[in-house]
């Protein structure tokens, strides 16, 4: 299974603005395997689980085809697992090359339990480019399947090369067919999104249609895959095989269902970003001295209809921001005896924001220096107010949960 993801798409959740950003090239526990075309490739620990499963299942099948191998069949089966994921990597590199050709940027490629993921930083600008970006992966899998099928004509099937080539032929064709299914987060879902986007001229309409198709596909996989597996071949299946089929179907269904939902949430976030402006979210602020009692500072704020308090020095220059969370922890009867400065955070360079910031630039600035409040300044250096991250998160939450 393969999946291409955008910076605001993929199954990728945007980093909450009040938290430190994750290192872009260090997925948890991933092993760096190389950097073709400058894009880091990681193998996650879950790959070893699926490699072991493939080795066990394929090795058991080899016992009936090439019994003379003995336990060596598991080494052959492991070779197949590695070759299969090499094919998956080629699939992902196809997405990567097209993304780089369109100057979309690729953060990394991950090989994991259910295939690979290409983390593409930006979305395609047109439905045509979106369609081609999604289609090129399954296309390369079809080509690889065809090449392996052609090579099977040069060897005997009842040999190790013949078995490996036959297995790679089937697996690449299955990968291509599965990824062409029309539902997010699969490549076929992105192709469907591109088609609906092209017809309606609205990217969100395409995302919603492909996400709904993905949810339907998840239900079909959940119930249909075990039935399909049970109908293959003759003879009854063991309870262990049936349990494995049901477990695989359930995990696949969850991955597809969640991926479809994440695609919608990220698309809504992208729609909301242009309306995310510092000026529209900034609270009015009052300035007080550091030794001003908290109760007095809050009284001044209420009188000025302000939602934030700034601590200023003797020259009236802001030096710190009173933290709202700290204020709420001080009981009412203690506020006359607590200085406002004791609840403030000193103004570091990253805690000053330009009043004209918006969208992705605003989120990037918040991630650079995580805090609960930021001082907002006009171009001439005058204080415009205070931006509370809680207000940004509420605006984003409203956009992500909108039906």
- Per the prediction, the chain carries an average pLDDT of 87
* Pair 334, 349: CB distance under 8 Å: no
Q: How many CB atoms lie within 10 A of CB 290?
A: 16
The helix-helix angle for 160-179 and 45-65 (nearest 10°) equals 130
pLDDT reading at 201 higher than 50: yes
Q: Which residue has the tokens 């394929």?
A: 58
pLDDT reading at 87 higher than 50: yes
* pLDDT tens, position by position, 88-106: 999 999 999 999 999 999 9
123 is catalytic: no
Provide the pLDDT for residue 235. Answer: 55
Q: Measuring CA to CA, which residue among 342, 365, 340, 370 is closest to residue 355? A: 365
* pLDDT tens, position by position, 326-350: 999 999 999 999 999 999 999 988 9
Q: What residues form DSSP beta bridges with 3?
A: 117
251 vs 244: CA distance, rounded Å: 11
First-to-final CA distance of the chain: 29
Residue 361 — pLDDT band, cuts 50, 70, 90?
confident
The predicted model gives 228-248 an average pLDDT of 72
Residue 225 — pLDDT band, cuts 50, 70, 90?
confident
Q: Measuring CA to CA, which residue among 231, 4, 253 is closest to residue 123? A: 4
Tokens, residue 325: 């969370």
Residue 8 — pLDDT band, cuts 50, 70, 90?
very low
- In terms of average pLDDT, the best of 70-74, 133-137, 397-401 is 133-137
Q: Measuring CA to CA, which residue among 210, 166, 216 is closest to residue 65? A: 166
Tokens, residue 287: 């300035």
Residue 220 — pLDDT band, cuts 50, 70, 90?
very high
Burial tier of 93 (Cβ tally within 10 Å: 0-12, 13-18, 19+):
buried
Residue 403 — pLDDT band, cuts 50, 70, 90?
low
Catalytic residue among 92, 119, 123, 324: 92
Give the helix, strand, coil percentages of the chain, each rounded to 5: 60, 15, 25
Provide the pLDDT for residue 236. Answer: 61
* pLDDT tens, position by position, 265-322: 888 888 788 888 999 999 999 999 999 999 999 999 999 999 999 999 988 899 999 9
298 vs 302: CA distance, rounded Å: 6
Instruction: For CA atoms 238, 239, 243, 249, give the dihedral sign.
Output: positive
Report if pTM > 0.95.
no
């Amino acid at each position: 299974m393969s999946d291409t993801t955008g910076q605001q798409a993929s199954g990728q959740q945007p980093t909450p603005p009040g938290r430190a950003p994750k290192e872009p090239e260090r997925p948890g526990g991933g092993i760096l395997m190389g950097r073709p075309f400058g894009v880091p490739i990681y193998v996650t620990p879950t790959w070893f689980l699926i490699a072991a499963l493939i080795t066990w299942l394929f090795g058991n099948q080899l016992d009936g085809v090439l019994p003379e191998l003995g336990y060596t069949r598991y080494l052959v089966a492991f070779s197949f697992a590695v070759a299969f994921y090499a094919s998956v990597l080629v699939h992902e590199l196809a997405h990567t090359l097209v993304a780089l050709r369109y100057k979309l940027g690729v953060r990394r490629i991950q090989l994991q339990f259910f295939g690979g993921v290409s983390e593409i930083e930006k979305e395609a600008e047109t439905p045509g480019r979106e369609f081609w970006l999604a289609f090129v992966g399954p296309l390369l899998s079809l080509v690889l399947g065809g090449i392996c099928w052609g090579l099977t004509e040069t060897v005997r099937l009842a040999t190790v090369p013949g078995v490996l080539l036959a297995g790679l032929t089937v697996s690449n064709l299955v990968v291509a067919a599965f990824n062409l299914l029309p539902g997010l987060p699969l490549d076929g879902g992105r192709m469907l999104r591109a088609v609906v986007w092209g017809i309606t001229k609205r990217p969100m309409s395409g995302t919603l249609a492909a996400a709904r198709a993905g949810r339907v596909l998840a239900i079909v996989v959940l119930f249909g895959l075990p039935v399909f597996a049970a109908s293959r071949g003759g003879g009854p299946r063991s309870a262990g095989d049936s349990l494995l089929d049901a477990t695989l179907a359930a995990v696949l269904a969850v991955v597809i269902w969640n991926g479809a939902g994440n695609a919608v949430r990220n698309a809504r976030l992208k729609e909301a970003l242009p309306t995310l402006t510092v000026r529209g979210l900034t609270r009015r602020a009052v300035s007080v001295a550091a030794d001003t009692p908290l109760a007095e500072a809050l009284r001044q704020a209420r009188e000025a209809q302000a939602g934030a308090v700034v601590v200023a020095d003797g020259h009236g220059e802001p030096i710190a921001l009173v933290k709202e969370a700290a204020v709420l922890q001080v009981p009412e009867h203690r506020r006359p005896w607590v200085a406002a400065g004791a609840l403030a955070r000193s103004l570091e360079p990253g805690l000053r924001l330009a009043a004209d910031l918006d969208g992705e630039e605003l989120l990037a600035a918040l991630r650079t220096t995580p805090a609960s409040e930021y001082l907002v300044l006009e171009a001439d250096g005058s204080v415009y107010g205070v931006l509370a991250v809680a207000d940004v998160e509420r605006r984003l939450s409203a956009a992500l949960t909108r039906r």
